[in-house]
């Protein structure tokens, strides 16, 4: 049990560790600076025409990371939901350039570069390489939630699809917490 000798040894050790107002725990676990990295996830439904006037409706899911204050980039996946081309799937890289970035309204130019196939699209899609150029009008509803509409062009580079594109969707902004490189002592 606790004897006088054990109590004296414990007291001496305790005060030697906490000398200068710093405990052993504070020395062992330095304080770390954390940073919030903004990101957003966007879901849209887009409509365009393929050869012969056939319409196709696609749903898209984008994960966007802010690489600069006015630029987001990330992967995008699209798949057919309406039309004869069920099973058509596309994926690629999406980049947004915001040239008006206010709290009340945002306007961006978007570029998508990727490829796709399936859903009996081989006749129209050629090799499957896709490029989309569009303009987006984004209306923030809350600090994290935005509604968006998009008008643009889609082109299958070596295929027979070149069409106007119209889209509507919703975005949710979230933050990834990450550690900064510097440590506070």
For the segment 122-174, what is each residue's pLDDT rounded down to a tens digit? 666 666 788 999 999 999 999 899 999 999 998 888 777 788 999 999 999 99
pTM of the shown model: 0.72
CA dihedral 138, 141, 145, 150 (to 10 degrees): -20
User: How high is the mean pLDDT of the chain?
Assistant: 80
- Tokens 């509604």 correspond to 147
Domain 33-178, what architecture? Beta Barrel (2.40)
Domain with CATH 2.40.160.20 in the chain: 33-178
């Amino acid at each position: 049990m606790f004897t006088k000798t054990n109590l004296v040894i414990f007291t001496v050790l305790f005060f030697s560790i906490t000398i200068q107002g710093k405990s052993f725990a504070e020395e062992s676990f330095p304080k770390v600076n954390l940073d919030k990295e903004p990101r957003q996830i966007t879901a849209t439904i887009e409509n365009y025409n393929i050869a012969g006037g056939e319409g196709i409706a696609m749903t898209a899911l984008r994960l966007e990371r802010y690489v600069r204050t006015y630029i987001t980039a990330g992967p995008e996946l699209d798949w057919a939901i309406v039309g004869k081309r069920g099973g058509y799937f596309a994926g690629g890289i999406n980049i947004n350039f915001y040239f008006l970035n206010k709290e009340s309204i945002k306007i961006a130019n978007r570029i998508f570069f990727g490829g796709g196939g399936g859903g009996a699209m081989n006749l129209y899609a050629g090799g499957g390489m896709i490029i989309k150029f569009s303009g987006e009008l984004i209306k923030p509803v809350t600090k994290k939630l935005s509604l968006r509409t998009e008008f643009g062009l889609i082109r299958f580079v070596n295929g027979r699809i070149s069409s106007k594109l119209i889209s509507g969707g919703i975005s949710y902004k979230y933050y990834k917490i990450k550690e900064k490189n510097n440590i506070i002592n």
